[in-house]
């Protein structure tokens, strides 16, 4: 489909069309950036497009709500979808093409392969979302393989996901350079997320405790409080604000994601917790 008054952005729906378009740009000497998303786009996603355009001449986004990365009882069915609105936002951000395959194109009958990175997916979010990162690695491998872009941009908001994708791309000799993009936050500090749309006004107000608890834990650790005490205080703060289950509140090595009991270079504070029915994640550098 070419851009029209109805749709401001070219949309392709098959891997062959995607690769054809990317190859044509590359043959003309242009570098191409790929920005994979699940849609319901916000300013955080658009920052990835901007970052892509810093490093390439052309940005291509993908939107695919990947069933393989949702567990039973998760929000696959109700995940927000707005392709027309997303296409307009992408066009406004300078994106040149949208790849939006359907599930049958991505996973046709007989599909039998999956990509599993060992180790990293067992930690943090992987402990409560078994199989999630296998779904992520599989779909990202397919997207990278289909596009063969020069660079692909992923958000640091999903720190563990970025670490896993970097590992996979290095291990599988994927020629696309993987680039991270800093977290885009609302004016009050809450990380933007498509899932913030699920929050009631009260939950949205309480959710702010997540970045605040991370910042407080960083301050406490840097001023000498033992890491375990700072993390426990962070969890308590989330509970006090109304979060239900706290999946983790950890200090970890930014690359290996192994838990740290003492501050170290490259350490990251990461948390995941549920408010109402919505699971939120966030992280900051120590
Ligand atoms: P999603 O659509 O949630 O799968 O996210 C698609 C990409 O956007 C992922 O690489 C995310 O890490 C990234 N992303 C989502 N929210 C943000 C944010 N607030 N800041 C930066 N990147 C983000």
How do the domains of the chain map onto residue ranges?
A: 11-181, 199-276
Residue to substitute in 33, 34, 37, 176 for testing ligand 1 pocket (most ligand atoms within 8 angstroms of CB)? 37
Name the strands in the sheet holding 177-181, side by side, starting at the edge strand that comes first in the sequence.
10-12, 97-99, 58-63, 32-37, 151-155, 177-181
Q: In the predicted model, is pLDDT for residue 3 greater than 80?
A: no
Q: In the predicted model, is pLDDT for residue 33 greater than 70?
A: yes
11-181: in CATH 3.30.1490.20:
no
Q: What is the mean pLDDT of the chain?
A: 96
pLDDT of residue 6: 64
Mean pLDDT of the 152-175 span: 98
Reported as a single tens digit per residue, the pLDDT across 210-266 is 999 999 999 999 999 999 999 999 999 999 999 999 999 999 999 999 999 999 999
pLDDT of residue 8: 82
* pTM of the predicted structure, to 2 decimals: 0.96
pLDDT of residue 7: 72
pLDDT of residue 66: 98
Distance in angstroms (rounded) separating the CA atoms of residues 195 and 258: 27
Distance 76 CA to ligand 1 centre (A): 17
Helix axes 159-171, 132-147, angle to 10 degrees: 50
Mean pLDDT of the 173-194 span: 97
pLDDT band for position 1 (cuts 50, 70, 90): low
pLDDT of residue 4: 58
Collapsing DSSP states into helix, strand and coil, what is residue 195?
Answer: helix
Q: Measured from the CA of 38, which atom of ligand 1 is nearest?
A: 2
Q: For 4-121, where are the E strands, in sequence order?
A: 10-12, 32-37, 58-63, 97-99
- Name every protein residue with a CB atom under 6 angstroms from any ligand 1 atom: 37-38, 44-45, 47-48, 154-155, 157-158, 181, 183-184, 191-194
Q: In the predicted model, is pLDDT for residue 2 greater than 60?
A: no
Q: Whose alpha carbon is nearest atom 22 of ligand 1?
A: 155
pLDDT of residue 198: 94
Q: Whose alpha carbon is nearest atom 10 of ligand 1?
A: 154
Mean pLDDT of the 74-102 span: 96
Q: In the predicted model, is pLDDT for residue 49 greater than 80?
A: yes
Q: Active-site residue numbers? A: 45
Q: Measured from the CA of 192, which atom of ligand 1 is nearest?
A: 19
Q: How far is CA 154 from CA 216, 220, 265, 278, in A?
A: 26, 30, 22, 22
Q: Whose alpha carbon is nearest atom 18 of ligand 1?
A: 44
pLDDT of residue 5: 55
Reported as a single tens digit per residue, the pLDDT across 95-126 is 999 999 999 999 999 999 999 999 999 999 99
8 A C-beta contact, residue 98 and residue 12 = yes
């Amino acid at each position: 489909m070419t851009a029209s008054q109805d749709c401001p952005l070219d949309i392709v729906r098959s891997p062959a069309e995607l690769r054809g378009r990317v190859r044509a740009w590359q043959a003309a000497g242009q570098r191409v950036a790929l920005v994979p998303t699940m849609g319901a786009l916000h300013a955080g996603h658009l920052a990835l497009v901007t970052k892509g355009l810093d490093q390439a001449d052309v940005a291509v986004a993908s939107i695919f709500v990947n069933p393989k990365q949702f567990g039973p009882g998760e929000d696959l069915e109700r995940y927000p979808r707005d392709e027309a609105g997303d296409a307009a936002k992408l066009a406004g951000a300078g994106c040149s093409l949208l790849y939006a395959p359907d599930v049958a194109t991505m996973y046709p009958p007989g599909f039998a392969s999956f990509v599993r990175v060992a180790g990293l997916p067992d930690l943090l979010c992987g402990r409560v979302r078994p199989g999630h990162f296998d779904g992520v690695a599989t779909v990202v491998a397919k997207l990278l393989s289909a596009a063969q872009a020069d660079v692909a941009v992923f958000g640091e908001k999903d720190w563990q996901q970025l670490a896993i994708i970097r590992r996979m791309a290095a291990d599988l000799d994927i020629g696309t350079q993987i680039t991270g993009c800093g977290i885009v936050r609302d004016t009050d500090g809450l990380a933007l997320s498509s899932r913030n749309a699920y929050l009631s006004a009260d939950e949205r107000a309480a959710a702010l405790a997540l970045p605040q608890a991370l910042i407080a834990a960083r301050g406490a650790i840097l001023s000498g409080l033992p890491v375990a005490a700072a993390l426990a205080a962070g969890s308590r703060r989330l509970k006090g604000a109304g979060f239900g289950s706290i999946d983790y509140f950890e200090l970890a090595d930014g690359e290996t994601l192994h838990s740290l009991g003492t501050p170290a270079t490259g350490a990251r504070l990461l948390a995941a917790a549920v408010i109402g029915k919505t699971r939120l994640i966030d992280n900051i550098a120590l």
